[in-house]
Amino acid sequence: MTPKAQRFTLPRMSHAEAPLPDNARAIIDEEEALLARVQSTLDEARRKSARGQDTQGLVAQLQVLRDDASTAAEADLPHIFSQMNQLRSLMERQESAKLPDPHAPYFAHLRLQGTGGTRDYLLGRTTFADVGAGVRVIDWRFAPVARVFYCYEEGDDYEEYFGERLAEGSVETRRLVVIERGVLTRIIAGPLVLERGEDGAWRSVSRDFATLQSGGAGTAARPEFLGTGKGARRIDDAFGVTAMLDAEQYEAVTTGPDQPLLVLGSAGSGKTTVALHRLAKLAFDEPQKFPQARMKLIVPEEGLARLSRRLLAPLGLGNVAVQTRDTWLLATARSAFDMPGIKLWHDTPPLVSRLKRHPALRRALAARVGVPKTDAGTTLERLRKRLADAYLDRRFLDSVVHAAKGELPLTAIDETMEHTRLQMATPLAKALRDITDAERLVTVDGRAMEEDTPDAMAGTVDLDDLPILMFLKAQHTSLGLERLAHVVLDEAEDFSLFELFAVRQLLGKGRSCTLAGDEMQQTDAGFAGWSSVLNELDIRDAATCRLQVAYRCPRPVVELARQVLGDQAPDTPVNGRAGAPVGFHHFPDEAQAQLFIGEALRDLVAREPHASVGVIASSPEAAQAIYRVVEDQPWARRVSDGEFTFEPGVDVTDVGSVKGLEFDYVILPDATARAYPVDDESRRRLHVAVTRTSHQLWVVSSGVRSRLLTQGGAAAPR
């Protein structure tokens, strides 16, 4: 089979080809000879393994011993069990002696010159060595020598501890290689990029495809600078905030103080700009009516809360409270129920949380609510039991799931019921309190007996239950919450109807508030629509502003974002500015993609040390995997729980943490079919990730690229 027939198609580079340099041919010959030697060595190792391994014979021996054990005398059993354990251990050793895949045995080549001479190391997923043949394949995730590849460039001197041994030397060769179905198809060696064409011939291609375009540093809004529009009108109003706002933004900012305002717009259109400038105008124009102490900004995530606090300071709004949705819910529930301590469960199953936040539950529960005879029925504990009765009613949950019209699976019913049973169980300490000493309920390591067991859930409530419990109480009595002069909800599409009901209790008679959102960026299924949002807040006369220009993202990103949304995209296209093209990169293996990203990041940080870079993975687990490639670099940060510093460097995070944020550069490291399947929720999540960049976006995938980028989405180059 020819190389052309064997290759797994990679994205073709559209850059102009250069003549093949003399040294390039030497590199190609060397790498192809090395690959052939590795494959030959693996073939021989496989033959030896087949000759020496008699797994079927071991299985037969084990079966005989099992038969013997069933009829043997009790005194003979220890000897028989010992033989069985020995056979099992031998089988496990044989099964664990896996060899590298000959079709893709490694994906990087490292040659080191040290005190022991010159040695070649090949980074792959499985460790294998044949010293006689000069073949050393190391597991890139665990082998200590792999650190040299991550932390040093070709030509550098290295000094690293491998265990307790100090190793010193120099890096002679450091190359990324792509091997597809046993054929070498690409070599990246510093500035030199070599690629095998579909005709089997090697070519030197431009390095541009492997580097992010310069000029992005400082294009994203920084904490001390609130990004605004590009209108020509400079505003020097009496409220003391001067900014470049476009006409639409300015009109929204100057909406009457007592009129609710709904600001809609795509990512980067200036929704947050409008909301915060309106706060500043209210505080300056009518400080008595709108004191900062009685205004609040509520956002879904901690990262956006941190950014918002820093953006408010230059506007003179340092005393305006900024809270995440979760923090605000807990504080409000404590006040509403006059309970400083509420035992929360912080690991609610995603499907259970999804059901509790869905509009269908809001409608069903409203129909189910009964009026108690006295207010004694509105304590937290009594309302918790009433809510549990609903969660344990299969017929009720079935009606919720069916009313969700496909947005909730039937499995949500059993999962919610089981979760509720565990939460409503009697806590172990309480159950055993009368029959044993309290000291006996503590383990030897000082932890509670039920810790890390399902019993730990007993007596807890989910965070998603808090607004529902407040909703139930408000049907019968006041929540007793202090009213606010003005409330801002940013990313309002992520607030459930129950949460909006709780916000409603904070609004004054004039319903003065600002809602900023984009239905295309909802991260939870079941957004009820803006009319339902306003209805839940008891708002009838909201002014609505839809911003039409995307200032953050360049046009190629705006177009990609629209294609990803497919039939969910708004009817009116959003305009974008000219900018760098989106880079698409696909690899057969995840590890190759990760190492490629690591190379690109090192190059970018060296060229633009003041740039902000977001590596946005599909999940926290995926973010941790890509972070391992760059964790030794001083500029790399693993950001979880929204702990962004907004300093130059590389933030490795996940899509659930970046709503409302922006970076100069963004890399999506795992745009795969598994991470982003073809469904509406994945479209919205991928859309959020795509639209975080202000300069350039890279979309990197491995294995099977997400169909959202190829069908009904962007036609990524192949």
Each residue's pLDDT tens digit, 656-684: 999 889 999 999 999 999 999 998 889 99
What mean pLDDT is predicted for residues 500-522? 89
Which of residues 186, 210, 234 is at a domain's end? 210
Burial class (CB in 10 A: 0-12, 13-18, 19+), 102: middle
- Look-up: residue for tokens 């400080």? 287
* pLDDT number for residue 225: 52
Q: How many Cβ atoms from other residues are within 10 Å of residue 113's Cβ?
A: 15
* pLDDT number for residue 73: 63
Does residue 406 register a pLDDT over 80?
A: yes
Sequence letter at residue 108 = A
DSSP three-state, residue 495: coil
Between the ranges 185-199, 374-388, 397-411, where is the mean pLDDT highest?
Answer: 397-411
CATH number of the domain at 569, please: 3.40.50.300
What mean pLDDT is predicted for residues 300-316? 89
What mean pLDDT is predicted for residues 687-701? 93
* pLDDT number for residue 240: 35
More confident residue, 442 or 607: 607
| Number of domains making up the chain | 2
Which of residues 151, 182, 210 is at a domain's end? 210
Q: How far apart are CA 687 and CA 679, in angstroms?
A: 12
Residue 511 lies in a domain: no
Residue 271 lies in a domain: no
Q: How far apart are CA 668 and CA 87, in angstroms?
A: 47
Residue 69 lies in a domain: no
* pLDDT number for residue 434: 55
Between the ranges 45-59, 425-439, 484-498, 548-562, where is the mean pLDDT highest?
Answer: 484-498
Residue 398 lies in a domain: no
Largest CA distance in the chain: 99
How does pLDDT run across 563-606, given as a tens digit for each residue? 998 887 776 666 667 888 999 999 988 988 998 999 899 999 99
How does pLDDT run across 354-393, given as a tens digit for each residue? 999 999 999 999 998 865 555 557 889 999 999 999 999 9
More confident residue, 550 or 352: 352
Residue 93 lies in a domain: no
* pLDDT number for residue 553: 86
What mean pLDDT is predicted for residues 173-193? 90
Count, residues in the chain: 718
Treating both helix axes as pointing N-terminal to C-terminal, what angle do 271-285 and 302-312 enclose, rounded to 10 degrees?
Answer: 50
Which of residues 172, 193, 210 is at a domain's end? 210
DSSP secondary structure letter of residue 37: H
How does pLDDT run across 603-646, given as a tens digit for each residue? 999 999 999 999 999 999 999 999 998 998 999 999 998 899 88
Residue 596 lies in a domain: yes
Sequence letter at residue 494 = D
* pLDDT number for residue 59: 65
pTM here? 0.79
What mean pLDDT is predicted for residues 273-298? 92
* pLDDT number for residue 46: 83
* pLDDT number for residue 538: 92
- Confidence category of residue 497, pLDDT binned at 50, 70, 90: very high
* pLDDT number for residue 420: 96
How does pLDDT run across 62-79, given as a tens digit for each residue? 666 666 666 666 666 676
What mean pLDDT is predicted for residues 396-415? 94
List helix spans (H) across 451-589: 465-474, 497-504, 530-536, 555-565
What residue numbers bound the domain in which 144 lies? 3-52+100-210
Q: How many Cβ atoms from other residues are within 10 Å of residue 348's Cβ?
A: 20
How does pLDDT run across 111-127, given as a tens digit for each residue? 999 887 899 999 998 88
Does residue 228 register a pLDDT over 60?
A: no
Residue 124 lies in a domain: yes
Does residue 495 register a pLDDT over 90?
A: yes
Percent helix / strand / coil, the chain, rounded to 5: 40, 20, 35
Q: How many Cβ atoms from other residues are within 10 Å of residue 433's Cβ?
A: 12
More confident residue, 91 or 343: 343
* pLDDT number for residue 57: 59
Mean pLDDT of the chain: 83
Residue 501 lies in a domain: no
- Confidence category of residue 426, pLDDT binned at 50, 70, 90: confident
Cβ partners under 8 Å of residue 263, min gap 6: 252, 271, 274, 275, 514, 515, 516, 517, 545, 547
